[in-house]
Chain A
Amino acid sequence: MSFFGLKNLGSKIALTALGFSLIPLLALGITMYSMFASAYHDKVRSNLVTLAENKRQSIDLFLREQVSQLRTIAHTHSIEDLSSPEVLDKILTTIQMGSRTLIDLGLIGEDGRHISYAGPYNLAEINYKNEDWFHRVMVRKIYVSDVFEGFRGFPHLIIAVKVQVKGKAWILRATIDSDIFDSLVRWLQLGDRGDAYLVNRAGELQTRPRFGNKSKEIYKHFLGTPFVGARVSEFGDQKHKIFVEGIWLEQKEWLLVIEDDVQSELRPLFETQAATWALGGGGAALIIIGTLLISRMIVVQQERNEREQARLNEELIQSSKMAALGKLAAGVAHEVNNPLAVIREKAGWMRDLLEEEDVQGSENFKEFEDAVDKIEQHVERAGAVVHRMLGFARRMEPICNDVYLNDVLKHTTVFLDNEIKFRGIELIWHLGTDVPAIQSDASQLQQVFLNLLDNAIDAINRNGIITISTSFDRGSDSVCVSIRDNGPGIDKEVQQRLFDPFFTTKKVGEGTGLGLSISYSIVNKLGGTIRFESEVGHGTEFIIIFPVRHYDRNE
């Protein structure tokens, strides 16, 4: 699989994992939240309805109490008593000892004039005959007014009770302190921004709301025919949303309007929403990070596996190539060996014959002798090549001994001392002092090092540096030999074929192209690995790694 394919795999894994974890998380979050929200909304609404009912009851109770108090006064006192301002005053004082709800009391005759009056205002001379409420109370016997300014010039409401004695009618009237009424209505507000007030059927305010003037829009839809029970609606924009409850009083056709701040009512819900978002967001972030990490890890691992696989494949290809070429080399060598042996013998025979006197007397004797020399010389050369080919092909059976790589390297360079000096090459040693002995074959290793050093010298040609280093890696329990030259480096194309048998960059006759492939098979056989790093213009480094303990592969 290519690395592009791996990237694809990574994003596929990530997307799948994200899909399978984020979608349920999202679904869970949304479902839970919406279920909770609707349950909470219902709960809040039913709470508001209950509260509105309670409030209505308390206001109704208050009004009923006031009316019945007035009726009690009217029916427990004779008209004569009530006609006396002193008695009326005494009654008012007595009532006011209990509560300051009533501000004044007045007894009004059929003609609309005050018969007696107790209270702070100077109303004794006022005639109510033409007042609307006066006519109503004459008809209905009991009357609770809307809030109006009346003769006093400030808002108030009155209750009036008709008393009929012997065909004559009187009206006992009381003023209710609108402040006390206001505060009663406002009592038990909900939240910081809650409000409560009364409006009449025309939608006029009957009590002072807590917060300024009220738009009729808020409760407009509750007006009209009074209904039983409380209704809840919402008002305002998303930012300043309020709940509006409307409920009609029983005692009077007044609408109790209660406002509740959605924000404060639904605070737990909003907190839940925030918590849901935070938890969901946090969870999603964790899932995303985790998924990306895991998919990255999988991709990295996969890459590593593939690289390892590619390396193994390469090694396998290399070693099977070696084996095939080894067989080929052996076959060729054997085939070439026989004719060579014949040529060698024939040349020997010619040499034997050259000793004959008649031949020695021949004018071309020197030419013959030279020719035989050359034939023998080149048969030897061909024989050497065949010998090396067979050496490459032959199944090596290394002898295992304790081998100190540092010593082997030192001994090997002795062979090359003269050449190194002659070519002006500097040899730098970085031998690890802790390099342990390995189980290996010293002479075969020497051949490998000799090959590599030979190549390094050839690469440098003149005036350069060869660095020989050894080190011990305790972690992998292996030793490493590095031979580095600062020669011209190896071309990319050549790099691919470097270990191939018969591949050489040297002049014909100078190299067989077997040095590195033999080195490769020796190192392989000895249980090690050989690789190189080369950069054109900077030089080449060969790195050989041997395990300290080597168990033969055949064992």
Chain B
Amino acid sequence: MTETNKTPIAPVHAGPSVLVVDDEYDFLETLVKRLERRGFLVRGAHSGHEALRMLEQTSYDVIILDVMMPGMDGIETLREIKLAWPKTQVILLSGHGGEEMGLRGMAYGAYTYLLKPVSLKKLVETAHLAYEEAGLG
């Protein structure tokens, strides 16, 4: 872990807690590291099932959920999450041409959906917005 005072954006672990769910290991690992560096408390899950197990143990403010996953896909996972933890904010990440999927996710209660590839800046902003909105709600 890098030293706290050297990160320009926010102190480590001071921000909202985030769970990133993506089946691509390398992508997940890197995204987790980069978000941590930007002040989030981040954990990663490789599948929908793993995400649900982790949610049972700890609560998270924001979940960044990949739609395209083998086995339990993003939409199914979203429904399970929203059933058990309705206050948790979910940001969907969908691949190209996934607008339809994104809209379906919105209907199931996702905070928003972002189309891949998404810049980290945009993801961070969106996560903050989602967190703030959850706090207000």
Contacts and interface: CB of A to CB of B under 8 A. Distances in A.
Q: A and B from one assembly?
A: yes
Contacts of B2: 356
Contacts of B6: 356-357
A134 to B, nearest CB: 145
Given A337-B116, A349-B34, A383-B117, A342 B27 contact: yes
Contacts of A352: 33-34, 37
Interface of A: 333-334, 337-338, 340-342, 344-346, 348-349, 352, 355-357, 383, 386-387, 390, 394
Contact of A348 (B24, B34, B95): B34
B30 interface: yes
Given A345-B31, A352-B37, A337 B95 contact: yes
A394 B97 contact: yes
Given A348-B34, A356-B2, A341 B96 contact: no
Contacts of B33: 349, 352
B91 to A, nearest CB: 16
Given A352-B37, A355-B8, 5 more contacts: A337-B116, A344-B117, A348-B30, A356-B2, A357-B6
Contacts of A394: 96-97
Contacts of A344: 117
A341 B119 CA distance: 10
B30 A349 contact: yes
A342 B120 contact: no
Contacts of B26: 342, 345-346
Interface of B: 2, 6, 8, 24, 26-27, 30-31, 33-34, 37, 95-97, 116-117, 120
Nearest to B22: A341
A469 B27 CA distance: 51
A165 B60 CA distance: 181
22 contacts: A333-B96, A337-B116, A338-B27, A341-B24, A341-B27, A341-B116, A342-B24, A342-B27, A344-B117, A345-B26, A345-B27, A345-B31, A345-B34, A345-B120, A346-B26, A346-B30, A349-B30, A349-B34, A352-B34, A356-B2, A356-B6, A386-B96
Contacts of B96: 333-334, 337, 386-387, 390, 394
A41 B95 CA distance: 103
A177 B112 CA distance: 146
A521 to B, nearest CB: 15
Nearest to B8: A355
Contacts of A383: 117
Given A341-B24, A341-B27, A345-B27, A334 B117 contact: no
Contact of A334 (B27, B30, B95, B120): B95
Nearest to B93: A341
A355 B117 CA distance: 23
A340 B95 CA distance: 12
Given A341-B117, A349-B33, A356-B6, A390 B27 contact: no
A512 B6 CA distance: 44
B30 A345 contact: yes
A356 B1 CA distance: 12
A345 B93 CA distance: 14
Contacts of A357: 6
Nearest to A347: B30
Contacts of A387: 96
B5 to A, nearest CB: 11
Please list the 10 inter-chain residue pairs (A to B) with the smallest Cβ-Cβ separation, ordered nearest first.
A345-B30, A342-B26, A390-B96, A342-B27, A349-B30, A394-B97, A341-B27, A352-B37, A346-B30, A348-B120
B118 to A, nearest CB: 9
A338 B96 CA distance: 11
A390 B98 CA distance: 11
Contacts of A345: 26-27, 30-31, 34, 120
Give the interface centre of A337, A341, A348, A355 by most chain B CB atoms within 10 Å: A341
A36 B136 CA distance: 119
A344 B30 CA distance: 10
Contacts of B8: 355
A349 B8 CA distance: 15
A348 B123 CA distance: 13
Contact of A390 (B37, B97, B120): B97
B88 to A, nearest CB: 24
